[in-house]
Chains A and B, each alone.
Chain A
């Protein structure tokens, strides 16, 4: 007997007038839109439990993943999502070195459009590249990460994952631990999670914390900075550990990996400060025993593997919704 996951986790009836043809960032998303995407993802997740994981919804659509930066999970996740929906997928990864700002990207986009791409999933090292693409291309553009700016599908899947465990994001205390200055995941998550009503605490060495985040007051009031990890974790419902990028060490922003580990590694001992039912998340890939101890990665509170699985459902939802109005 096959059993489907039938737990309704949040408001099933949030219905809205969806008209987005691009997903560039989530800074203009309303709460209803977030819930609409996560509700659609819930329906998509059921497809992933089937022996034949394929529905004909995007039959005949051509989807291109155009990645100017390396990626395993985001790209694989988008590709699988598109294939589960029966779209045709082309993967392109031009070497980053041959790309100069703007002009060449525009040529590439035009070529893809002529080839019949309905949707282009773009990852680029320069912030704003997807916005540029959306202005110049007729295809739907999905931002799969641009520079330090945004990573909208990561935020959507993080909200989806949190909703599965905590039902409501509103009022939760969420700690974002590590290098939030150079992290597009942190930037998007701060924007999305505060919009959903969560209180965010940023924790990390002062050199890795942002100079300024959230120019508007509504975000500022939901956001605080705490340099002491034990104080930051106190009473937390969700802990999101970020990857320490090795190049930051070379730039002299942290004295050394050992210093970082002793001050900010998420260990089992430190996690005890958080609520007993707190969940631990990480956008991946994990630097083992650097920003997070392997003990915590494998503990029962860790939902890191589930984030990867949820990512496919969220990307199916986004591909389906974005392709609306493109018929």
Chain B
């Protein structure tokens, strides 16, 4: 297995600073925004974006936590159900602009499930999507409004986002996991 660091802690810090500025730029009324982190790693990212916005503009944006596992489209076919945890949204989402935050955007199925979960909680004025990494390979017609970094990847590769709050380190890795790819690499060497 080969693994390569794509973003280190400084890169992540700068990326989240830029994303926070983009959110400020694109939303005239920051008081109407709620950042909602998608479990697990979307949550600390949402919190860091809120911290950045607070330090740049002095406005405190509420941060919520969304568990969308009960809305997954593969519940019926999987023989292992995901662990369900609490959803906590600190304010009513009715008529607010909700920015969903996740670490990686891949097939888009998590984002779809998260939107369904969110709409069951109320009627937001708009839902937007912010992700640290967009790795492509969408299976649904959706895109992110705020992207930290585009990382074109193959299906056989794995993108791993590690965050201080969850994993004790800030970094984004790309890993080749397919055994076939490993053999090829060896052959090339």
Name A residues whose Cβ lies closer than 8 Å to a Cβ of B.
Answer: 1-4, 6, 8, 12, 15, 39-40, 42-44, 46-47, 50-52, 54-57, 59-60, 85, 317, 320-321, 323-325, 327
B88 CB contact (under 8 Å) in A4, A39, A52: A4
Q: How far is the CA of A324 from the CA of B74 in the complex (A)?
A: 12
Q: How far is the CA of A54 from the CA of B86 in the complex (A)?
A: 15
Q: How far is the CA of A244 from the CA of B73 in the complex (A)?
A: 48
Interface string of B59-95 (1 = CB under 8 A from A): 0000000010011000111111101111111111000
Which chain B residue has the least Cβ–Cβ distance from A61?
Answer: B76
- B73-125 CB contacts (< 8 Å) to partner A: 75-81, 83-92, 116-117, 120-122
Total A-B pairs in contact (CB under 8 Å)?
A: 63
Question: Do B120 and A55 touch (CB < 8 A)?
Answer: yes
A327 proximity list for chain B (CB < 8 A)? 75-79
Given pairs A46-B87, A56-B116, 20 additional interface contacts (CB within 8 A): A8-B86, A15-B83, A40-B83, A42-B86, A43-B67, A43-B86, A47-B70, A50-B120, A52-B120, A54-B120, A55-B117, A56-B71, A57-B70, A317-B84, A320-B70, A321-B81, A323-B81, A324-B79, A324-B80, A327-B79
A4 proximity list for chain B (CB < 8 A)? 87-89
Known: A43-B67, A320-B81. A60 touches B87 (CB 8 A): no
Question: Do A40 and B84 touch (CB < 8 A)?
Answer: yes
Q: Which 4 A-B pairs have the closest CB atoms?
A: A57-B70, A55-B70, A324-B81, A43-B84
Q: 16 interchain pairs (CB within 8 A)?
A: A3-B90, A4-B87, A4-B89, A6-B88, A8-B86, A43-B67, A44-B84, A50-B120, A50-B121, A54-B120, A56-B75, A57-B75, A59-B75, A324-B79, A324-B80, A327-B75
Q: How far is the CA of A327 from the CA of B81 in the complex (A)?
A: 10
B85 proximity list for chain A (CB < 8 A)? 12, 39, 43
B84 proximity list for chain A (CB < 8 A)? 40, 43-44, 317, 320
Which chain B residue has the least Cβ–Cβ distance from A19?
Answer: B80
- Label chain A's interface by main secondary structure: loop
B80 proximity list for chain A (CB < 8 A)? 324-325
Which chain A residue has the least Cβ–Cβ distance from B65?
Answer: A6
- Label chain B's interface by main secondary structure: loop
A46 proximity list for chain B (CB < 8 A)? 86-88
Which chain A residue has the least Cβ–Cβ distance from B121?
Answer: A50
Which chain A residue has the least Cβ–Cβ distance from B72?
Answer: A57
Question: Do A1 and B91 touch (CB < 8 A)?
Answer: yes
Which chain A residue has the least Cβ–Cβ distance from B68?
Answer: A55
Question: Do B87 and A2 touch (CB < 8 A)?
Answer: no
Q: How far is the CA of A6 from the CA of B63 in the complex (A)?
A: 13
Known: A57-B70, A327-B77. A1 touches B92 (CB 8 A): yes
B79 proximity list for chain A (CB < 8 A)? 324-325, 327
Q: How far is the CA of A197 from the CA of B3 in the complex (A)?
A: 46
Whole-angstrom distance between the Cβ of B62 and the nearest chain A Cβ = 10
Q: Which of A2, A50, A321 gathers most chain B CB within 10 Å?
A: A2
A55 proximity list for chain B (CB < 8 A)? 70-71, 117, 120
